[in-house]
Structure 1
């Protein structure tokens, strides 16, 4: 439940103060270490709706509004790639009514994002990509999604990867299948099939950088078959005990501060290790002067502990 009434939070002074504060924090964070690629598991829409006495659709709509806010923050901070887990292949096991709702809601929200007059200055900056097994998406929905991809294909400020009908297992299977077909058709050789080749044939494509930061809301501490390959190395993972519709830009800011701190600390450690290694290498490589015994100065006279020579 909200502690502050909507008429207060939506009043002009409060809105102005909130926008001013967000902009100030974003400007501060932008001067530090900002992740290039952020991934989001937007979990908790249905539980948020149940907790607040809303229909399931109300929870999904509230979650969509949160996503628009995070996209705005990402644009302010200069984050280049934002990947969202919009629809897992496992979600096809839900009721047909909810699946249809999620399909229509996704297309509607993407259309709204492009057409909303208040966001006209930001929408042209975002390129939207649909990532996943498109053969599982109904033709009518797929047509509209691909049209949105086409409209935004030349935008470069932020790439919004919408993972729809996606799981990591399916993505890896897809990549291996592509490589097998290429091998059978003599388009590649056994020697060329390695980790890089598998990565380059993912749905994301080779142009997508590794995930720097992954955030999951709702309190669950699992990845749910999302970007399993991409986050296996050098990725910072945050599990937050808050439902996605309740996730705000301030939660995001706090996580980014933590991310920047650990990245800066790791950078300092790497520099220290590099310096230490270079010094050790220098000492080992430095030629040692050989001194002949006859060139040494004469030894002092021997004296016993009794003072006798």
Structure 2
């Protein structure tokens, strides 16, 4: 007797991917941060909660990193930085440190051999930190990974390992002083600009930091990007453990960023209409640096579209996703003859009804949304 294959695999993955792409397209219509950083905290607690070895928790954290990197790249985020390993982590048990070094070597080699994600989005990999503290085998893997992605110029992934912000700032000051001495400028004044120019992240080509996210509910920065966070950075703390962190955890953070950005743009528009002198325009540092290509073009369209309008579409599509993808009818159990076939038919019928609505979200153009809002 022929049996139907479980539909909960291929159809669920297909619908989830289409739905996620549609949501990301809607979010991308608004302001997008150019640099997002993550403190990947909670791997060990996640492992203990699921009665797993600590090493397995760190492995699940790598899966979450790939997931969030792809989400950020689809949104158009230019640079992603992650706190992979602190210099202070060398004080952990030798067994855990060795496991982390093994994982780092394994995943760097994997990126070299199967780096489709980095190639698809043109991601250049930078390892930021005191690389000389790493084992030689890991240093070789780092060198190979950086060399293979050196020509990619569309996006940047900074793996901060082993890293602390205090070490980065001390090194930047040292290089700034050394540069002044080499130029025989004894009276040179070391400014913030000089230090900023010698930071490891700046040398790696990273734009100013827009958002920093720490997971696991712990509310401290743990010596990560302290200099970069001092300048118009949105700092967010999420209660989710890093292996569980995903799109729905990142969504409110991104919407909050867009809300603040739109308010700033509206303030700029009001002052401009009043004839305020250019030098007094209330533009954020992000505007002044001109890091965003689409900041001026389409500004009015994005404002008219509005945060609430996008949010309505996002919440509606999320309801469709939950109803279709996570509906109890997806579960296929061992059943009597014919019952499994009927369950499969119901799933197909439901998918046919909902799929056009989900995919139709991708066809929403900015022009049509603006007409709706302004009419």
TM over 0.5: yes
User: In the alignment, does 2:94 pair up with 1:108?
Assistant: no
CA distance in 2, matches of 1:29, 1:201: 34
2:169 to 161, 172, 192: 172
What is the Cα deviation at residue 189 of structure 1?
5.0
Between the aligned partners of 1:219 and 1:126, the Cα distance in structure 2 is 29
Structure 1 position 183, deviation (Å): 3.2
Deviation (angstroms), 1:123:
5.1
Aligned equivalents of 2:176, 2:272: Cα separation in 1? 38
**The one of 75, 90, 95 aligned to 1:92:** 90
Cα deviation digits, residues 54-111 of structure 1 (max 9, x gap): 1001100111001001111122111110000000111011011111111221222233
Equivalent residue runs for 1:12-161 within 5 Å: 12-116=10-114, 119=116, 122=119, 125-161=122-158
Q: CA deviation at 1:121?
A: 7.8
SS of the aligned residue for 1:242 comes to coil
Matching of residue 251 in structure 1 with residue 249 in structure 2: yes
CA distance in structure 1 between the aligned counterparts of 2:102 and 2:36, rounded to whole angstroms: 25
- 1:172-228 CA-to-partner distances (Å, cap 9, x unmatched) read 100111122233333555435211110111112353211001111000111111000
Change (3 A) 1:121 1:43: closer
Q: Distance in 1 between matches of 2:206 and 2:71?
A: 20
Distance change in 2, residues 1:276/1:191 (3 Å) = farther
SS of the residue 1:231 aligns to: helix
Q: State the alpha-carbon separation in 2 of the partners of residues 186 and 151 from structure 1.
A: 35
Contact 1:132–1:171 (CA<8 Å) still a contact in 2?
Answer: yes
User: Are the structure 2 counterparts of residues 51 and 201 from structure 1 closer, same or farther at C-alpha, using a change threshold of 3 Å?
Assistant: same
Partner residue, 2:282:
none
User: What is the CA deviation profile of residues 158-184 of structure 1, one whole-angstrom value per residue up to 9, with x for unaligned ones?
Assistant: 200000011110001001111222333
Equivalents in 1 of 2:121, 2:29: separation in Å? 24
1:248 Cα deviation after fit: 1.2
1:210 maps to what in 2? Answer: 208
Instruction: Give the secondary structure class of the aligned counterpart of 2:151.
Output: coil
Q: Give distance in 2, aligned partners of 1:29 and 1:195.
A: 35
Find the aligned partners of 2:141 and 2:100 in 1 and give their Cα distance. Answer: 14
Deviation at 1:276, TM superposition (A): 4.1
Is 1:200 matched up with 2:168? no
Q: Larger deviation: 44-53 or 135-144?
A: 135-144
Q: How does 1:238-277 map to 2 (within 5 A)?
A: 238-276=236-274
Q: Indicate the residue corresponding to 2:344 in structure 1.
A: none
Q: Which is helix-richer, 1 or 2?
A: 2
Root-mean-square deviation (Å)? 2.3
The residue matched to 1:241 in structure 2 has which SS?
coil
How many residues are treated as equivalent by the alignment? Answer: 273
8 A contact 2:156–2:206 mirrored in 1: no
8 Å Cα contact 2:104/2:138 also seen in 1: no
- Residue aligned with 1:90, SS: helix
How does the TM-score come out when normalised to structure 1? 0.82
Given the two structures, how large is their TM-score scaled by the length of structure 2? 0.68
